Chains A and B, each alone.
Chain A
Amino acid sequence: MRDIIIQIIYFAASILFILGLKRMSSPKTATSGIQWAGIGMLLAIVVTFLYPDLHNFGLILLAITIGTVVAWIAAKKVAMTEMPEMIALYNGMGGGAAAAIAAVELFKLSSGSVETMTLTTFVLAIIGGLIGAVSFSGSVLAFFKLRDWLKNIYFPMQQIINLSVLAAAILFGIMFFFWHSPVVCILFFAASLAYGVLMTMSIGGADMPVVIALYNAFTGLAVACEGFVMNNVAMIIAGTIVGSSGTLLTLLMAKAMNRSITNVIFTKFGGGGNGAAVEGTTKSMEIDDAAVMLNFVSKVIFIPGYGMAVAQAQQKVWELASLLLDKGVDVKFAIHPVAGRMPGHMNVLLAEAGVPYDYIADMEEINNDFASTDIVIVLGANDVVNPAARTDKTSPIYGMPILNADQAKQIFVIKRGKGKGYAGIENLLFFNDKCRMVYGDAKQVMAKMIQTLKEQE
């Protein structure tokens, strides 16, 4: 009877997950989508307590309480600009949980409390443990890197060492099947965790969104594997759906950057190849002068990038855009698929500031409009507007589709300093004759421009 109730609720939860995800695919129904999925989750978790022979209820409830309070507060407090690293972190926790489930089940073999495991169960426990552990340590490292607490690290023979560690993890996993020693099990997880760190260490620059999407898919797969081990259908379905949708999202991201997944993981981005040296100089302009020029335009395109996120400038950007709209200027926001550090990162920030959809355009929609644009304002974006991607075959970003900012009549680049972009290469756009550098924090520059424009009215 219990089993029937559990299975019925799990079935309902799986349907709610699928419908919820479906509803999340349209802006109008998205909020109800996450609520449906939330109801599914709540039902599935509550009914799990009906599983036969459960013990340690006190500990279970204690862990859930602590986890809920900490995660709730952290999730409420986090600023919208810090969303990517927060998603990476929560995703890593899921991977860690899946790996820990594998560890509990595998340790039962070595303590003798479980005599045997079928080959399928064992293999899936090992695969889920490996992928979950990689996703855990990899996501945590991605969190550190997005916080700028860590830089990319390269060392000699990196790929060979990385692959050796991965091979060692697989070998320990196979070894454990024949010899149920706790030491081998610990070595297996240690090697898996180490591989996650090593794999993420060398990935940087504009590749970060792809990696976060990839680890999301990894955690999904790990959860599906452990679902089989725990004989839990809902986990298999939920994990697999995330695994496949996450893979699709990863492929879309990689495609937008004109890079393959293997390229992202095994080739260093920036740092190594530097592209051709650039001759010429950049020209800077004062904020006031730039603002004055905005009085004489009929079409402006904003290109936001990670700099806008760092400066928390999205509100001010929309304020300036609104001011221009009131003057009858045609204003658009051009979003590169990998602007920021996560797919749709800029869309979330602009949504936060209250920019209506109609003013936001994808790269494909808007790329032909630049030639007829009076002024392009690049806000802390760099690599996604670098014409070197079109012309310089030695550049590490060669072949990546870019926004055609260089075709506009005038370009303003708002930037904190003279540093290079996240990919670590010179930006040819900055040396363009039509380009003026406006140095300063994006939020302050916007505020000053708004002030200047208002004073002139």
Chain B
Amino acid sequence: MTIDGFTAIYLFTLAAFTGYEVISRVPVILHTPLMSGSNFIHGLVLAGAIIALGHATTTTEIIIGFVSVLLATGNAVGGYVVTVRMLEMFKSKSNEGDNHA
């Protein structure tokens, strides 16, 4: 499947509206986990990095491709773990309930 310029513009525009709408009603308390969560989602750059390294032929390309996969993995894995850790604190809090209310 090849994406031509116009299809890309459609994709880009519709995805941009989706991202904007999905986020627009987020409470302030979730801003940091949310930024961290969206940070995880662009970790999908790993897919591109795998393809780039997988198609690399010269030494230069292989070295840069390797760095790319390494960095992208860091983005995806680190972003996920950090987000889950932050969100878990919100969860435990609501379970404990209001013992002072």
A contact residues vs B (CB 8 Å cutoff) = 3, 7, 13, 17-18, 20-22, 24-28, 30-31, 33-35, 37-38, 41, 44-45, 48-49, 51, 53-57, 59-60, 62-64, 66-68, 70-72, 74-76, 78, 80, 83-84, 86-87, 89-91, 93-94, 96-98, 100-101, 103-105, 107-108, 111, 113, 120, 136, 182, 212-213, 216, 219-220, 222-224, 226-249, 252, 322, 325-326, 335, 337, 342-345, 347-348, 351-352, 354-360, 362
Contacts and interface: CB of A to CB of B under 8 A. Distances in A.
Given A64-B73, A236-B15, A356-B100, A30 B47 contact: no
B35 A343 contact: yes
Contact of B42 (A62, A242, A325, A356): A242
Interface residues of B, number: 89
B62 A59 contact: yes
A230 B48 contact: yes
A356 B61 CA distance: 52
B35 A232 contact: no
B45 A351 contact: no
Given A83-B86, A91-B75, A104-B61, A232 B48 contact: yes
Contact of A362 (B17, B28, B61): B28
A344 B33 CA distance: 8
Contact of A96 (B52, B58, B71, B96): B71
A231 B1 contact: yes
A274 to B, nearest CB: 31
Taking chain B's interface residues, is the majority helix, strand, or loop, or is none over half, making it mixed? helix
Given A41-B44, A97-B75, A231-B2, A30 B87 contact: yes
A59 to B, nearest CB: 6
A97 B30 contact: no
Nearest to A241: B19
A42 to B, nearest CB: 9
Contacts of A72: 77-78, 81
B19 to A, nearest CB: 4
A422 B81 CA distance: 30
Given A74-B78, A240-B19, A249 B35 contact: yes
B56 to A, nearest CB: 6
Contact of A3 (B1, B19, B94): B1
Given A49-B50, A232-B48, A343 B100 contact: no
